[in-house]
């Protein structure tokens, strides 16, 4: 069985994104401290709005970091019983019969990204509730990305097409279709 992981190029891209996210997080913490440091008896609107924005960044950035770390460690292994996905203590098997579609998310780039759409929620087999929440937050409960930076990605997609009884592959969503939702 072949296991598919990020290529060296994909790993470099993920590291750059991870460093960027950590810089944004540090900036948000530093800016929040300096925004709230005042001698005024009560905060002004000019302090409250930037402070709220920094709080959102302080909360959201660790979730982005988790997503990037999960992408960094992601491994896809086609097996007889389905597609095994492992990352950061998560070990899921998506049965071939449970894969409904393979959808192109972004065809306009040099390295397009796809996602698998499932008929059911398989994340319930993740025993740790925190890992289950973080994985579902990163991907959703019925989707799994096939990253653009994956080594031998085309071979994995061909194997999925060979094994899974896919419905016709869905096209990438258009901007106008997403705005109607």
The answer to whether 151 and 7 are in contact (CB under 8 A) is yes
pLDDT per position as a tens digit, 49-84: 999 999 999 999 999 999 999 999 999 999 999 999
Among 114, 95, 97, residue whose Cα is nearest residue 105:
114
CA distance 8 to 153: 13
CA 97 to chain centre: 23
| Res 165: pLDDT | 82
Among 85, 68, 63, residue whose Cα is nearest residue 13:
68
pLDDT exceeds 50 at position 161: yes
pTM over 0.85: no
| DSSP string for 99-145 | EEEEEEEETTSSS-EEEEEESS--GGG--SHHHHHHHHHHH-SSEEE
């Amino acid at each position: 069985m072949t296991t598919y992981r990020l290529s060296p190029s994909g790993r470099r891209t993920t590291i750059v994104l991870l460093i960027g996210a950590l810089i944004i997080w540090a900036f948000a913490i530093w800016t929040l401290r300096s925004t709230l440091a005042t001698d005024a008896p009560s905060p002004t609107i000019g302090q409250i709005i930037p402070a709220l924005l920094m709080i959102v960044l302080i909360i959201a950035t660790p979730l982005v970091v988790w997503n990037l770390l999960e992408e960094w460690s992601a491994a896809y292994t086609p097996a007889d019983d389905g597609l095994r996905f492992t990352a950061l203590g998560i070990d899921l098997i998506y049965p071939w019969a449970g894969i409904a579609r393979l959808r192109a998310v972004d065809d306009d780039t040099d390295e397009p990204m796809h996602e698998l759409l499932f008929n059911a929620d398989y994340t319930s087999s993740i025993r740790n509730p925190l890992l289950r929440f973080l994985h579902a937050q990163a991907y959703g409960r019925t989707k799994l990305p096939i990253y653009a930076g994956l080594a031998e990605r085309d071979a994995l997609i061909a194997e999925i097409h060979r094994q899974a009884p896919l419905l016709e592959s869905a096209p990438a969503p258009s901007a106008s279709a997403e705005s109607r939702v």
